[in-house]
Amino acid sequence: VAKAPTEAIEGIGIGGQMHGAVLLDAKQRVLRPAILWNDGRCQEECDLLHKKVPTLIKETGNRALVGFTAPKLVWVKRHEPRVWKQVRTVLLPKDYLRLRLTGDMIAEMSDGAGMLLMDVAKRRWSAKMLAACDIDESYLGRLIEGSEIGGVVTAAAASELGIPAGIPVVGGAGDQAAGAVGAGCVTPGSTTIALGTSGVVFTTTKGYSPDKHGRLHTFCHALPKTWHQMGVMLSAAGSLQWYRDTLAPGAEFGALCAEAVGAPIGCDGLTFLPYLTGERTPLCDARARGGFIGLTRMHTRQHLTRAVLEGISLGLAESLHLIRDTGTTVKEATVTGGGTRSREWMQILADVCDVRIVLRTGADAGPALGAARLALIGCLGVPRAQACAPGAIEQTYAPDRAAVRAYAGVAARFRELYPVLKSYFHHV
């Protein structure tokens, strides 16, 4: 925008981190610092919501987790009653930005679904969840689609930003849905795997098809009549970062990953559990813990490194298994994030997940590009298929059939460990 003539700006799309609670009073003043997605203080409130709404998973398509917005609001009501009495508006971070841009109190489907306050199947606020959280619907924004115009830039905002007033602003999307739109993940079965500190497996589905146990997130996509499922791993590349910093300080990530091929598949019985900050999918257990299991004197740093890469990949594969179990076929995944620079890791990921891994041009610009694409659709009328076309394939990693068969046994061993160790995790 800074390099473009301001008169050339024909629309604005916005995206942002999901689940954060921005609380405003009757004069739209911020009442307290936003409680972000990674704040884990509200497990008790999650349990309370499940008791108050026994059909919660059926109602929302999701389990109540500490990262979601609704339990954070219940926490504020219970622990900060003076603040709660003043609350008249609840917005997500990007929608607060929209409020500042347009003056309009609006929410958007993909982000709103992550609040745990929506009937995701019907794409509307849930009366049951609002009642359980003691929230009046008037406190929440009017729900719109991500490609739908939801206001225009005000004169005051235009003056502050140095852009023309009246520019239309579309609904936009939460960061993951925006990233998927940017990567072209908008048709049934299309999948992205984001390898950040956390890891996210995102699949567009043919319709609304939640996991009945709530082990996957089932949200509205940023485009009309479209839904997606999402598995979240809390320590993906974060596990590799911890390993490098703690056990291989100074090692360059590329060289570290390259040495992993010196150890065999399955690491001679060594397994790494990547639950360094608890785990969401499929465990939904904030008290799960990580570790190396099966370590002996025969194991080398090569074994340890490969075990970390395999453990992360096995954790991500669990999300893909659940997505497939709900009826969606996944044959290919576009991967984004720093991990894509390691050929060794990408091949391990392809073999463990039994899916073709592709790297695409522009995919790492995902959320910003996705927000812009939503503006193209909403403000300029560009057809969805044209606006959201995937980038060109730069690299492909096909699963090796022999490796896929070998990893079946490794995956079985991986799945056996958490149930055995769960009681220990909950007592340390």
Using CA atoms, how far residue 227 sits from 19, 36, 78, 199, in Å, is: 17, 24, 33, 20
Q: What pLDDT is stored for residue 338 in this prediction?
A: 87
Which tokens in the block code for residue 291? 């570790």
Task: Report which of 286, 266, 426 is spatially closest to residue 352, judged by C-alpha positions.
Answer: 266
What are the start and end residues of each CATH 3.30.420.40 domain in the chain?
Answer: 13-102+111-140, 176-428
Encode 33-65: b = buried (16+ Cβ within 10 Å), e = exposed: ebbebeeeebeebbebbbeebeebbebbbbbbb
Q: What pLDDT is stored for residue 2 in this prediction?
A: 62
Q: What pLDDT is stored for residue 1 in this prediction?
A: 57
Quickly name the fold that domain 13-102+111-140 has: Nucleotidyltransferase; domain 5 (3.30.420)
Tell me which amino acid residue 389 is: A
Contact assessment for residue 90 and residue 130, using Cβ atoms and an 8 Å cutoff: no
- Neighbouring CB atoms inside 10 A of 318's CB total 22
| pTM score, whole prediction | 0.92
Q: What pLDDT is stored for residue 286 in this prediction?
A: 85
Q: How far apart are CA 145 and CA 194, in angstroms?
A: 24
Q: What pLDDT is stored for residue 217 in this prediction?
A: 95
Q: What pLDDT is stored for residue 380 in this prediction?
A: 96
From first to last of the 428 residues of the chain, give the pLDDT tens digit.
Answer: 567 788 889 999 999 999 999 999 999 999 999 999 888 899 999 999 999 999 999 999 999 999 899 999 999 999 999 999 999 999 999 999 999 999 999 999 999 999 999 999 999 999 999 999 999 999 999 999 999 999 999 999 999 999 999 999 999 999 999 999 999 999 999 999 999 999 999 999 999 999 999 999 999 999 999 999 999 999 999 999 999 999 999 999 999 999 999 999 999 999 999 999 999 999 999 899 999 999 999 999 999 999 999 999 999 999 999 999 999 999 999 999 889 999 999 999 999 999 999 999 887 778 899 999 999 999 999 999 999 999 999 999 999 999 999 999 999 999 999 999 999 999 98
Give the bridge partners for 142, in sequence order: 106
Annotation marks residue 351 as catalytic: no
Task: Report which of 323, 391, 308, 395 is spatially closest to residue 353, judged by C-alpha positions.
Answer: 323
Between β-strands 227-233 and 199-205, what pairing exists: parallel, antiparallel or unpaired? antiparallel
Catalytic residue among 175, 351, 354, 364: 175
Using CA atoms, how far residue 356 sits from 191, 348, 361, 391, in Å, is: 11, 11, 16, 16
Q: How far apart are CA 175 and CA 365, in angstroms?
A: 11
Tell me which amino acid residue 64 is: A
Which tokens in the block code for residue 51? 């008791």
Q: What pLDDT is stored for residue 130 in this prediction?
A: 97
Q: What pLDDT is stored for residue 424 in this prediction?
A: 96
Q: What phi and psi values does residue 9 have, to the nearest 5 degrees?
A: -75, 115
The CATH code that applies to domain 176-428 is 3.30.420.40
- Helical H segments across 284-400, by residue range: 301-325, 343-353, 366-380, 384-387
The beta strand positions in 36-113, using DSSP E, are 89-91, 106-108
Contact assessment for residue 13 and residue 110, using Cβ atoms and an 8 Å cutoff: no
Contact assessment for residue 233 and residue 197, using Cβ atoms and an 8 Å cutoff: no
Which tokens in the block code for residue 360? 């695409």
